[in-house]
Amino acid sequence: MGKWYFLLVFVVFMAGCENTTEQLFRRGDWLYDQKKYNEAIAQYNEVIERNGKIQYAYYRRATCYVEQKKYTEALKDLEKVIFLITGGSTGPVRYIVVLNKNGPFADDVAQYQVDYYEAVYQRGLIKEKMRSAKSAIADFQSCIDNRYNINNCRIWQGMAWLDIGENDKACACFYKVSQPERDTANPYLAVDTSYQADAKRYISQFCQ
């Protein structure tokens, strides 16, 4: 009886010592900040091994791969994030599934979701680095059309157009950022002047 009692106590103790998903993410993100990318990846891998549906684990692992210039692996992880967000739907119309992370029964899958257009934006950045310019441009346009990170996406769109020698289209992107207009869908918002200095620098460099 005593033997089994101590064995049970040991099992309960060990279970209590297991790192939570939050702890794994905190450690992984800290290691990433320290530029210890392989160690950070190991933390995200552990989350994925426990539950392969947690979007943020793939997203954060992709950021590590980008720092290591492993763009193929990073792209694969972001495609996985998008697959999880959309429930695998494909084509011009995709269904974006957002779970209520504040619900009383919200689990790790709900708690660690990634914004769909953030994933598309990051995928566009990777494609631009891989010189898949037209595909990157399409991703950035999808974000712009849905009013996500508009000026930054236009800057990167411009850079992608430059990659394929379309200077006029690149300059059109830069000019739009350098001369921002009021958001007609939200007329009470202040005019977005972010990345204006970058746009003017690129105009001076490529559009004169």
Q: Average pLDDT of 118-140?
A: 97
Local confidence band at 185 (pLDDT 50, 70, 90 cut-offs)? low
Most confident of 18-22, 87-91, 118-122: 118-122
Q: Are the C-beta atoms of residues 177 and 144 closer than 8 Å to each other? A: no
List of domains in the chain: 17-114 (1.25.40.10)
Closest CA to 170 of 195, 196, 206, 142: 206
Q: Are the C-beta atoms of residues 123 and 72 closer than 8 Å to each other? A: no
Least confident of 24-28, 68-72, 93-97: 93-97
Residue 201 has pLDDT above 90, yes or no: yes
- 160-198: b or e for each residue (b if 16 or more CB lie within 10 Å)? bbbbeebeeebbebbbbbbebeeeeeeeeeeeeeebeeb
Q: Which residue has the higher pLDDT, 187 or 22?
A: 22
- Chain-wide mean pLDDT for the chain? 86
Whole-model pTM: value is: 0.84
